[in-house]
């Protein structure tokens, strides 16, 4: 089974480039804490070719 972190990264990778995401939105959709969502989004921002527009 995947970790919460991995599930968030998989979710983000499936989004279209240019889609906007939010910590609270990801946390609510995937039923994880905002802290977990935040850390995964920050990690995803360092991956290629993901281009995130993060806002709170």
pLDDT at 10: 92
pLDDT at 54: 55
- pLDDT, one tens digit per residue, over 1-56 is 589 999 999 999 898 878 889 999 999 999 999 999 999 999 888 876 645 555 54
Q: What whole-number distance in Å separates Cα of residue 49 and Cα of residue 44?
A: 10
Neighbouring C-alpha atoms within 13 Å toward the C-beta of 22: 5
User: Which residue's entry shows tokens 């994880």?
Assistant: 32
Whole-prediction pTM value?
A: 0.75
């Amino acid at each position: 089974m995947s970790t919460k972190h991995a599930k968030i990264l998989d979710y983000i990778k499936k989004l279209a480039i240019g889609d906007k995401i939010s910590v609270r939105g990801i946390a609510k959709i995937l039923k994880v804490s905002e802290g977990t969502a935040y850390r995964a989004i920050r990690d995803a921002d360092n991956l290629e070719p993901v281009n995130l527009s993060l806002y709170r």
